[in-house]
Amino acid sequence: MDNLLKHLTNFKFGGSAKKIITAESEIELIATLKDLKFKKAKYYILGGGTNIIANDKGYKGTIVKISASGLKIENQKILCEAGLPLRKLVNAANSAGLSSLETLAGIPGTVGGAIYGNAGAYGREISEFLKKVKIFDGRKIKWVFNKDCKFGYRESVFSAKGGKKPWVILAAEFYLPKGGAQKLAKKSKEIIKIREKRYKPGLRCAGSIFKNVLAKSGKIPAGLLLESIGAKGMRIGGVYVPRQHANLIVNNGRGKAEEAKKLIDILKQRVYRKYGIRLKEEVQYLGF
């Protein structure tokens, strides 16, 4: 396999990385991180690559892709590794009759990535029933309790700018209330149908580009602000905002990361000029 980042991201942007290492176990991941640290090598931790805009010029460092995906259920407790696809966690919880994760159905990416950005949908966030997170702090492995993860709207201690700690998520433990398996599975299927109307399967996009805006009156949907400034249908080269939702950007297959970044900047400027609100991206930039 070549080292092109476009093969690892939903957007399908990205040139070559210096090296790509896929860590399929916790032991392999820790050994890789220790080796990179010893060599003082530049590296980037990657999960599912679902919300990444990777530079088409590539990344002058090593990509460490977390793929460890173990899962264990004991009564109301679920222990899973960071590389487990979120959909598998949701399906496992539903099948076991454990509720509160069913509304996360259809969200792409891994459990580690979901915790990193405190993913959520339909009034629920992944952090709500998360008991603790297993991390590697650069020297040793330890468990961090929920309260120490500083979860907020689409952020955590792992992602918050300024307060970010050099912790790598290895695994997570959830404690979930009981529910009816059939009812939970039905709820997830309904949510997936709704999501697929907005995000068609195979669409080269990262889901919502911007976070909703937190205000005293509640959350202001970024999509409404973007729609009001004429975002729908806007296009730069091979990337565009689709007609069905203003808070999406899609790559038509010939788009460039720089085009996506430029379109994002224009959208932010227009919203700020009209409302004085600075939109914040949910997407992350790699190699810029």
Q: For the segment 223-237, what is each residue's pLDDT rounded down to a tens digit?
A: 999 999 999 999 999
For residue 79, the SS3 value is strand
Using CA atoms, how far residue 41 sits from 34, 36, 44, 145, in Å, is 10, 5, 10, 30
H or E stretch including 121? strand 120-121
Distance CA 30, CA 6 (A): 25
Q: Which of 204, 208, 259, 270 is catalytic?
A: 208
- 12-25 mean pLDDT: 96
Half-sphere exposure of 188 (CA within 13 A, CB side): 26
Does the annotation mark 208 as catalytic? yes
Half-sphere exposure of 42 (CA within 13 A, CB side): 7
DSSP symbols for 211-280: PPEEETTEEEPHHHHHHHTT-TT-EETTEE--TT-TT--EE-SS--HHHHHHHHHHHHHHHHHHHS----
List all residues 6 or more positions away from 230 whose beta carbon is below 8 Å from its beta carbon. 270
Is the Cβ–Cβ distance between 111 and 81 less than 8 Å? yes
Q: Which of 81, 154, 188, 204 is catalytic?
A: 154
Summarised one tens digit per residue, pLDDT across range 173-217 is: 999 999 999 999 999 999 999 888 877 778 899 989 999 999 888
Backbone phi and psi for residue 277, each to the nearest 5 degrees, phi listed first:
-110, 130
Summarised one tens digit per residue, pLDDT across range 98-149 is: 999 999 999 999 999 999 999 998 889 999 999 999 999 989 999 999 999 9
What's the whole-model pTM score? 0.92
Structural domains for the chain: 5-66 (3.30.43.10), 71-198 (3.30.465.10), 213-286 (3.90.78.10)
Distance CA 63, CA 19 (A): 6
Token couple for 198: 């907005």
Within 10 A of 100 (CB to CB), how many other CB atoms are there? 17
